[in-house]
Amino acid sequence: MQVELGVNLTTEMEQAMENIVANGPGAKKRSKTKLTGQEKDDCHLAASSKRKRAKKSFDSDDDQDSQEGECTKHIASRSNHSKRRGKPPQKGNAGGNGSISFCDRCQRRYLVEDDAQALCPACLSIQTNRSGAEVLRKGRKKRGKVIPEGSDEGGPVKSLRNLCIKLIADYIDQVEEFGDISEATKLQIAKIIGRYRQLNSTNVRLFIGPGEDRLNLSECTYLDEKALSEVAYMSPNVHQLYLGNCGRITDNVLKIIGENCTSLASLSLSGPFLPSSSGFITLFQGLGEKLKELSLQHAAKLDKAAVEVLVQRCPNLTLLRFDQCLKLGDEGIRLIADLKHLDFLELSRLGEKVSEESLIHVIRTVGAQLRVLSLNGHSHLTDKVLNEAIVPTCERLQEISMEESEGLTSAGMVDFFGKLKAPSGLSVVSLSRNVHMNDDVIVAIVNHFGTSLQQLNLNGLDELTDYSLGAVATGCPNLTELDVSWIRNVNDSILEKLLANSRSLSKVKVYGCNKLSEFIINRRWINKYEQDIRFVGNEYI
One domain for residues 440 and 540? yes
One domain for residues 531 and 429? yes
One domain for residues 429 and 537? yes
C-alpha closest to that of 371 among 401, 342, 402, 396: 396
One domain for residues 430 and 541? yes
Count Cβ atoms below 10 Å from residue 15 Cβ, excluding itself.
10
Task: Please report the pLDDT score of residue 256 as a whole number.
Answer: 97
Task: Please report the pLDDT score of residue 161 as a whole number.
Answer: 75
Task: Please report the pLDDT score of residue 360 as a whole number.
Answer: 96
One domain for residues 538 and 430? yes
| Burial of 142 from C-beta contacts in 10 A (0-12 / 13-18 / 19+) | exposed
Task: Please report the pLDDT score of residue 128 as a whole number.
Answer: 65
Task: Please report the pLDDT score of residue 186 as a whole number.
Answer: 85
Instruction: Please give the Cα distance from 356 to 102 (Å, whole number).
Output: 89
One domain for residues 72 and 181? no
Q: Which helix or strand (DSSP H or E) is residue 10 part of?
A: helix 2-22
Task: Please report the pLDDT score of residue 286 as a whole number.
Answer: 96
One domain for residues 166 and 83? no
Residue 267, beta-bridge partner list: 241, 294
Answer with the one of 43, 72, 89 that is the final residue of a domain.
Answer: 89
Classify residue 59: in a domain, yes or no. yes
pLDDT per residue over 22-63, tens digit each?
454 444 444 444 455 555 555 555 555 545 554 444 444 444
Report how many domains make up the chain: 3
Q: In this structure, what are the phi and psi dihedrals at residue 41, rounded to the nearest 5 degrees?
A: -60, -40
Classify residue 358: in a domain, yes or no. no
Answer with the one of 275, 298, 319 that is the final residue of a domain.
Answer: 275
- Judged by DSSP in three states, 83 sits in coil
CATH number at residue 496: 3.80.10.10
Classify residue 72: in a domain, yes or no. yes
Instruction: Please give the Cα distance from 349 to 368 (Å, whole number).
Output: 23
Classify residue 143: in a domain, yes or no. no
Whether 178 and 186 have beta carbons less than 8 Å apart is answered as yes
C-alpha closest to that of 212 among 231, 197, 193, 194: 231
Answer with the one of 217, 248, 275 that is the final residue of a domain.
Answer: 275
pLDDT per residue over 375-434, tens digit each?
999 988 999 999 999 999 999 999 999 999 999 999 999 999 999 998 889 999 999 999
Classify residue 489: in a domain, yes or no. yes
- Domain interval for residue 64: 2-89
Query: E strands of 324-383, at which residues?
Result: 344-348, 372-374
Whether 313 and 341 have beta carbons less than 8 Å apart is answered as no
Classify residue 320: in a domain, yes or no. no
One domain for residues 85 and 166? no
Sequence-distant (6+) residues with CB within 8 A of 336 are: 307, 311, 320, 342, 345, 347, 362, 366
One domain for residues 85 and 170? no
Classify residue 304: in a domain, yes or no. no
Count Cβ atoms below 10 Å from residue 118 Cβ, excluding itself.
17
Instruction: Please give the Cα distance from 382 to 385 (Å, whole number).
Output: 6
Task: Please report the pLDDT score of residue 247 as a whole number.
Answer: 95
Classify residue 385: in a domain, yes or no. no
Task: Please report the pLDDT score of residue 190 as a whole number.
Answer: 86
Whether 241 and 267 have beta carbons less than 8 Å apart is answered as yes
One domain for residues 439 and 541? yes
Sequence-distant (6+) residues with CB within 8 A of 40 are: none
Per run of 10 residues, the mean pLDDT along the chain (length 541 residues) is 42 51 45 48 52 47 45 41 42 54 77 75 70 44 44 59 79 81 85 87 90 93 95 95 96 97 96 97 96 97 97 97 95 96 97 93 96 94 94 96 95 96 94 95 97 97 95 95 96 93 94 90 90 84 57
